[in-house]
């Protein structure tokens, strides 16, 4: 049972991390506090749902299509938020709140209020006598590891990544050093959009799709991003796993009704202990 619990926690944490990745990158580089994040994930999920229903597209094929589409949509979003003036973080938060309402209700109109689910990819696999892993979980763990690794390598090992990190750490200094911040913004929205696109179909497979279901995803993304500290890609995955572990342990020993209290309490305790974010080095928290 313990291995099963650990495996489920691992997949739940990977789910959290995937949901948070795009938010973290966009917030880190462009300082856009995107409250429409969850709505975009749900939109991408609906896209995958439509593809699989209308053309019987296999699940693996829907992923790149959704990623490409959401990367393009990311550029549209950037064109909108570019017009927002100072104080940028707060205004972008309210602006995307409005945008979230618009997307949510447009989806309600387009896709109706019925709850949808993207079917599982196949039979669960029995690893040992009482350790079962589902295909969904394999997808989740594999993709979140791959996405995290790719984003991490991009940020650490490429010239572009260095420029992006410079923007994350010190925006004005990066501009003075000749980094084209505008271009970095575009890249962040493209990569962040692709990550949102990747999260959507998995969200539809592991939770459900509903026009109003984006708020939960946004909350997960906000909590994990701020918890780990922005721009901390590895920290994001670790933070997501830790949160999933704490929640599952609370639900197991104390009961499902205490789950929220335990995660909130531990979150507060950790924030009081390390105000900059759990795994960040000494660095002020991003402005809000």
The span from the CA of 62 to the CA of 76, in Å, is: 21
Q: At what angle do helices 233-253 and 2-30 cross, to 10 degrees?
A: 140
Among 76, 79, 110, 113, binds another protein (CB under 8 A): 113
Least Å distance between CB 250 and another protein? 8
Among 75, 76, 105, 127, binds another protein (CB under 8 A): 105
Among 54, 56, 123, 282, binds another protein (CB under 8 A): 123
Contact 221, 24 (CB under 8 A): yes
Considering only residues 152 through 181, tell me which ones interact with another protein, judged by CB under 8 A: none
The span from the CA of 229 to the CA of 52, in Å, is: 36
Angle at 101 between CA 18 and CA 89, to 5 degrees: 65
Q: Is 284 in the site for another protein (CB under 8 A)?
A: yes
Among 132, 166, 181, 246, binds another protein (CB under 8 A): 132
Least Å distance between CB 160 and another protein? 26
Interface with another protein (CB under 8 A), residue total: 84
Q: At what angle do helices 181-206 and 37-54 cross, to 10 degrees?
A: 60
Q: Is 206 in the site for another protein (CB under 8 A)?
A: yes
Q: Collapsing DSSP states into helix, strand and coil, what is residue 109?
A: helix
**Whole-Å CA distances, 218 to 19, 66, 150, 199:** 8, 18, 22, 12
Least Å distance between CB 192 and another protein? 17
Considering only residues 68 through 87, tell me which ones interact with another protein, judged by CB under 8 A: 80, 83-86
Least Å distance between CB 178 and another protein? 28
Among 23, 46, 59, 95, binds another protein (CB under 8 A): 95
Considering only residues 223 through 282, tell me which ones interact with another protein, judged by CB under 8 A: 223, 226-227, 230, 244, 247-249, 251-252, 255-261, 263-265, 267-268, 271-272, 275-277
The span from the CA of 63 to the CA of 201, in Å, is: 7
The span from the CA of 71 to the CA of 90, in Å, is: 24
Considering only residues 6 through 35, tell me which ones interact with another protein, judged by CB under 8 A: 8, 12, 15
């Amino acid at each position: 049972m313990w291995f099963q619990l650990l495996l489920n926690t691992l997949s739940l944490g990977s789910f959290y991390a995937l949901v948070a990745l795009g938010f973290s990158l966009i917030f880190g580089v462009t300082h856009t506090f995107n409250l429409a994040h969850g709505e975009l994930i749900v939109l991408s999920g609906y896209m995958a749902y439509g593809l699989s229903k209308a053309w019987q597209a296999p699940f693996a094929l829907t992923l790149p299509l959704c990623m490409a589409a959401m990367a393009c949509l990311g550029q549209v979003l950037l064109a909108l938020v570019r017009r927002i003036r100072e104080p940028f973080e707060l205004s972008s938060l309210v602006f995307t709140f409005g945008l979230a309402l618009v997307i949510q209700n447009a989806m309600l109109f387009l896709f109706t209020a019925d709850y949808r689910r993207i079917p599982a990819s196949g039979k669960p696999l029995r690893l040992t006598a009482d350790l079962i892993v589902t295909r969904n979980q394999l997808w989740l763990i594999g993709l979140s590891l791959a996405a995290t690794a790719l984003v991490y390598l991009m940020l650490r090992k490429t010239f572009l990544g260095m420029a992006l990190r410079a923007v994350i750490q010190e925006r004005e200094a990066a501009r003075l050093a000749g980094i084209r911040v505008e271009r970095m913004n575009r890249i962040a929205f493209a990569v962040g959009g692709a990550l949102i696109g990747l999260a959507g179909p998995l969200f539809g497979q592991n939770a459900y799709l509903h026009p109003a279901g984006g708020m939960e995803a946004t909350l997960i993304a906000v909590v994990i991003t701020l918890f780990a500290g922005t721009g901390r890609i590895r920290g994001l995955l670790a933070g997501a796993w830790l949160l999933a572990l704490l929640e599952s342990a609370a639900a197991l020993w104390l009961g499902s009704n205490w789950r929220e209290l335990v995660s909130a309490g531990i979150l507060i305790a950790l924030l009081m202990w390390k105000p900059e974010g759990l795994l960040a080095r000494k660095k002020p928290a991003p402005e809000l």
